Structure 1
Amino acid sequence: MIKVLMSTYNGEKYIREQLDSILNQEDVDLSILIRDDGSKDSTLDILKEYKERYSNIEYYSEPNIGCGQSFYKLILDAPKSDYYAFADQDDIWDSNKLSQAISKLEGVSEDKPTLYCSWIRPVDKELNIIPFKETDPIDANLGMALTQAIAPGCSYVFNDILLEAFKKQGIDNIDIHDWALFRVATALDSYIYFDREAYFSYRQHENNLIGSQHNFIGHWIGRFKRFSNKDYQNIRSRMAKKLRDVYYNDMSQENREKLDTFVNYDSNISSRIKLIRDREIGMIKKSDNLIFKILVLLGRV
């Protein structure tokens, strides 16, 4: 049994296609739990229509709290299931998306937290494929999770062990739900499977963009602005401190030491240099990693 968790907000334009693609999943026993985050368009009417047509859909609506906390509220409210999957409101899933994910997690010890994630297939509003340069990810570990997520949450499938562990995080400590879940998974040495195949179309539109091409100078200026944006300034160190506050006693000694290196990086210049020199802590793309190291020196991670 797998429970699909979806947060909606003003999603009337694409949500029918996404719900249909989820309901058309093959070889899985699924149900869908939807939390609407205060939509002001016809999203709730569409959800009501689908609930009346399909017995495996439940939804509820609450005041707007933002995407990350809305998904975390779903985590808290989700009934018991073998597996869970995050779903965006505007993608389209291949019919074997969930069955492929579950097949990669089956056979892992039942008492071990597990997480599946995958590549994306970017498409435009009309579902035309957008060329996208894939970057080979390094092995998923805490050092990488402290700086970025390995894949978007809409590719995630995870078991109930990881869900229960994630509940300890607390809703006030949630910023970006999928990144937060990935940090917890790596901190607890979960089994993580990264699939280099994509089983869903990741729709790009005015409210959901993974970036555009720039000239060389614009490329670097854009990256630096993105990493040093005041809304995200020191977000990584803040999130690392939250992780330490909640999960430190559940972590291996190796992960504790790595987390301490990150959390304490701003104590003095030698601590910053120690973080920069740690090859297991950093970002996948070389250009991103260079900017990350510059921000470490500036004390703005």
Structure 2
Amino acid sequence: MKRKSVSVAMAAYNGQQYIQQQMESILKQLHMDDELLISLDFSTDNTEYIVQKMAEKDDRIQIVHGPSLGVLKNFENAINLAKNEILFLSDQDDVWLDGKVERILKEFEDEQVQVVMHDAAVTDENLHIQISSIFKERNVKLGVKENILKNGYRGCCMAFRQSLKDDILPFPKTIPMHDQWIGLVGELTGKNVLVPEVYLLYRRHSKNETDLKHAGILQMLRWRKDIYTEIEKFKKKKGFKSS
């Protein structure tokens, strides 16, 4: 069976400290017909210089201007422009572990599979492991209701089919984060898979765009209401039975 082509959709912004290491960990797993597509929001550091210099040496790197409207819109831009069969999402400051791409692609041999998410280890800024398994720490599981009440989907660990873009884009304006939306839509339209192996060092540092900590109770309730409302709209649009 011919290997499916891969696009890695990365959102970047002021990421000079770690982005080269992340790009190197990705590129060594990509084939020549794959791409690393970086949506680069206007940055005030050397991020653009770093990625441009790397792109000069590697045709698989594609750089596009981001909308500079926040992380969701930046990822939306990257996903929209990604061209290959399977899309992997990537933050700018993590490290992919060897074997990630090939292991995840195996799951897409099942044509019903829409989204695949693997486990990750949480590290400090120097890649010293603080939590050995996000799956265990967060009790990650599949299920639409489960992931509305307590989202376990994490974009940096996800891959999905090109065909899913028709259902997930544009991102609804009120969703908390893109990864939860992608995961839930994947469950409603096909089958999602959790891969228990760790294939990412999830680096946490002072400038992360996202946080592992819980928001306040009122904010969490608003987010749950918002994502539930958007999912119900999606189900109605697709003719699915409402909960």
Q: TM-score, normalised by structure 2?
A: 0.87
Is the partner of 1:194 in helix, strand or coil?
Answer: strand
**What is the match of residue 90 of structure 1?**
93
Equivalent of 2:22 in 10, 18, 25: 18
- Whole-angstrom distance in 2 between the partners of 1:138 and 1:114: 18
The answer to which of 124-133 and 87-96 deviates more is: 124-133
Kindly tell me: are residues 114 and 34 of structure 1, through their superposed partners in 2, closer, same or farther at Cα, counting changes over 3 Å?
Answer: same
SS at match of 1:65: coil
Question: Which protein, 1 or 2, shows the higher relative CO under an 8 Å CA cutoff with sep ≥ 6?
Answer: 2
* Offset, 1:33: 0.8
Between the aligned partners of 2:121 and 2:128, the Cα distance in structure 1 is 10
- For residue 204 of structure 1, what is the amino acid of its counterpart? R
Q: 1:46 to 1:29 in 2, by over 3 A?
A: same
CA apart distance, 1:250: 2.0
SS at match of 1:10: coil
What is the number of equivalent residue pairs in this alignment? 235
Aligned CA-pair RMSD: 2.3
Q: Pick from 13, 16, 34: which aligns with 1:30? A: 34
How far the C-alpha of 1:182 sits from its partner, in A, is: 1.1
Q: CA deviation at 1:102?
A: 0.6
**Residues 118-159 of structure 1 deviation map (CA, whole Å, 9 limit, x = unaligned):** 111111111111134624846512111222332311110111
Partners of 1:117 and 1:157 within 8 A in 2: yes
Question: Would you tell me which structure has more strand in proportion to its own residues?
Answer: 2
Do the aligned partners of 2:172 and 2:230 also contact (CA within 8 Å) in 1? no
User: Could you tell me which residue of structure 2 aligns to residue 43 of structure 1?
Assistant: 47
Larger radius of gyration: 1
Counterpart of 2:222? 234
Quick check: 1:87–1:153 contact (8 Å CA) kept in 2? yes
- CA-CA distance at 1:88 after TM superposition: 0.6
- 8 Å contact kept, 1:26–1:95: no
Matched, 1:54 2:58: yes
Provide the identity percentage. Answer: 22
Q: How does 1:76-115 map to 2 (within 5 A)?
A: 76-79=80-83, 81-106=84-109, 108-109=110-111, 112=112, 114-115=114-115
Counterpart residue number, 2:129? 129
Q: Does 1:70 align with 2:74?
A: yes
Contact 1:72 1:174 in 2 (8 A): no
**Preserved CA contact (<8 Å) 2:131 2:137:** no
Q: What are the Cα deviations for residues 261-281 of structure 1, in whole angstroms up to 9, with x where unaligned?
A: xxxxxxxxxxxxxxxxxxxxx
Taking the TM superposition and a 5 Å limit, the aligned residue runs for 1:199-214 are 199-208=199-208, 209-211=211-213
Deviation at 1:164, TM superposition (A): 2.3
Instruction: Give the alignment partner of residue 151 of structure 2, picking from 149, 152, 156.
Output: 149
Amino acid at match of 2:194: F
Which amino acid in the other structure matches residue 230 of structure 2? Answer: K
Q: Which residue of 2 aligns with 1:195?
A: 195
Q: Give the CA deviation at 1:26.
A: 6.1
AA aligned opposite 1:141? G
Give unmatched runs, 5+ long, in structure 1. 212-222, 258-301
One-letter code of the match for 1:32? L
Q: Going by fraction, where is helix more abundant, 1 or 2?
A: 1
Listed as ranges, the gaps of 5+ residues in structure 2 are none
Contact 2:40–2:48 (CA<8 Å) still a contact in 1?
yes
Q: TM-score, normalised by structure 1?
A: 0.71
